[in-house]
Amino acid sequence: MKRKKMIFNIALAGLFCTLICVGAFIKIPIPNLPITMQVFFVLLAGLVLEPKTAFFASFTYMFLGLIGLPIFTGGGGIGYVFIPSFGFIIGFVVAATVMSLILHKAKKQPLWLLSLVALAGIIIIYLVGIPYFALITNGYKGGDKSAIWFIQALLVPFIPKEIISTVAAILVSYKLRPLLAKIK
C-alpha cells in the first residue's frame, strides 16, 4: 500500500511539474514580466498535493530549467539565476511547499482555509520574487530603480490576473481534492 501511494505521489509530482512547464508558455507578453499560467498551477499544486509532492513538483520544474531545458518563460540554463524574474521561480517552490504544509496540518480544510492558504501562496511568491528582481536589477545589473518602481511594475499590473488565478485554483482544488483522496 505504501508503494502504491509513493508511485501515485511521484506521478502527481511529474504531472504538476509538467503543468507548471506548460503554464510558462501560456503567456501574454508585457514589459518587465509576462503574464503566464504558472502561478495558477503552482497554487493548485500547493492546494492539492502533499507537502513533499508539492515541493518536488515545483523544485523539479526549477531544477530542469536550471540544467538547461528551455522551460522558463525566457529559456533555461544556470545563467537564469541572473535573470531578475528568477526570484519568482524560487517563490513558486517556497509557496507550493508552505501552502501544502499549512493545509496538511489542518484537520479540516474548508473553502475559507483554502482561500487563505492560496492568498498566502500569492504573497509568498511576490515576497520572494520582487526583492530578488530588485537585487538583480539594482545590485548585479547596476540599476537605480526605487522600491515604488518595483511595486508598480511587478505587482500592481498583475493583481487582476492573480485574483483570477487564485479564485480558479481554489475552485478547482475544492473539486479536485476529494477526487484525489479517493484515488489514493
pTM for this entry? 0.93
Over residues 118-137, the mean pLDDT reads 97
Cα dist from 20 to 17, 107, 108, whole Å: 5, 28, 27
Q: Residue 132 above 70 pLDDT? A: yes
* CATH of residue 14: 1.10.1760.20
pLDDT given for residue 28 in this prediction = 83
Assess contact for 154 and 133: CB atoms under 8 A. yes
pLDDT given for residue 183 in this prediction = 84
CA–CA separation, 94 and 87 (whole Å) = 11
Q: How many domains does the chain have?
A: 1
- Give the pLDDT confidence of 86-127 residue by residue, as tens digits: 999 999 999 999 999 999 999 888 999 999 999 999 999 999
Q: Residue 175 above 70 pLDDT? A: yes
Cα dist from 25 to 5, 29, 75, 116, 135, whole Å: 31, 10, 10, 28, 26
Q: Which domain holds residue 93?
A: 2-183
